[in-house]
Amino acid sequence: MTELIRRLLRTPQGAVGAAILVLLLVICLFGALIAPEDPEKMNVLARFRAPDLNNWLGSDQFGRDTLSRLLVGARGTVPLALAATLLGTLSGAVIGTASAYLGGRADEAIMRSIDAVMAIPGLLLTLLVSSTLGKGSLNAMLAIAVAFAPGMARVTRSVALTVRRQDYVNAAIARGEGSAWIVLREMLPNVAAPVVIETTIRVAFAVMLFATLSFLGLGAQPPASEWGLMVSEARRFLHQAPWMIVAPGVAIALTAIGFNLLGDGLRDALNPRDER
């Protein structure tokens, strides 16, 4: 593991990505403590205050400090996006590997159904599930997980199929190894690497999707300090206080970039052939 981290940090993408994410982790854990003011404290006198030296990111329509809301909002956006991705990835990976291993008609049937579900564009599917489950962050997370699972299943299946064709799997079958051994010890370690990379990159997408849902009113509900919600609320005050939009927008972008970079770095680090 330490070897992996060392190789990850040796790539520029991996290093920058890891740095951003460590920062994010700190903010998620200690955001409330670092925040200069109470994010929910309304101050009528301080409405629409522009950013200055004392007040780095200004304040919003209720006088709440934008920086504080931003710091606390991390906790509203990132962990749930992460959870949604993990849930979606795990279920997708199991379906995909099983489908690849079963082969034949079962594989065909599963894949055709997945193709049909994927014919529904991602955001649309998320919206549908979300609208049925109801508003709220948790439901949004579930909706995203459901939307991710088919895509992950397809990716995992294609990787599993490639692995299945390799001669080392054939060698194992020729030895008379049991299915469990072949799937768990021969295939899975080689399937895991690409899946991990894909998952990392999808977290970026989940963060954006979660914020989008909140923006549309289906995710986090006011008065939560979620980033997407902040942009949505800020829309009405574009003219008076443009910083209200820029700050959370940049935060979302930075988070997504961080995960994308980490994914790129992992791609290099997890490839064993680069050793020699």
Sites of contact with another protein (CB under 8 A):
112-113, 115-117, 119-124, 127-129, 131-132, 134, 166-168, 170-177, 186, 189-190, 204, 208-209, 211-212, 215-218, 228, 231-232, 234-235, 238-239, 242, 245-246, 249, 252-254, 256-257, 260, 272-273, 275-276
Tell the residue number behind the tokens 């948790």, with chain if given: 138
The answer to whether the beta carbons of residues 62 and 48 sit under 8 Å apart is no
Smallest distance, Å, CB 241 to another protein? 10
Non-local (6+) Cβ contacts of 84 within 8 A are 140, 141, 142, 144, 145, 148, 206, 210
Residue whose entry in the numeric block shows the structure tokens 């954006």: 208
Nearer to another protein, 3 or 52 (CB): 3
Nearer to another protein, 29 or 116 (CB): 116
Distance CA 222, CA 201 (A): 29
Rounded Cα distance between 142 and 105, Å, is 30
32 or 188: CB nearest another protein: 188
Q: Which is nearer to another protein, 140 or 208 (CB)?
A: 208
Contact 224, 210 (CB under 8 A): no
Q: Are 217 and 209 in contact (CB under 8 A)?
A: no
Contact 217, 135 (CB under 8 A): yes
Rounded to 5 degrees, what angle do the CA atoms 16, 18, 24 make? 105
Minimum Å distance from CB 41 to another protein? 26
Shortest Å distance, C-beta 95 to another protein: 16
Q: Nearest distance from residue 149's CB to another protein, in Å?
A: 13
Q: Tell me if residue 59 falls in helix, strand or coil.
A: strand
Beta carbon of residue 6, minimum distance to another protein (angstroms, whole number): 16
The secondary element (H helix, E strand) that includes residue 232 is helix 227-234
Q: How far is the CB of 231 from another protein (least distance, A)?
A: 6
Choice between 1 and 119, CB closer to another protein:
119
Query: Would you say 54 or 132 has its CB closer to another protein?
Result: 132
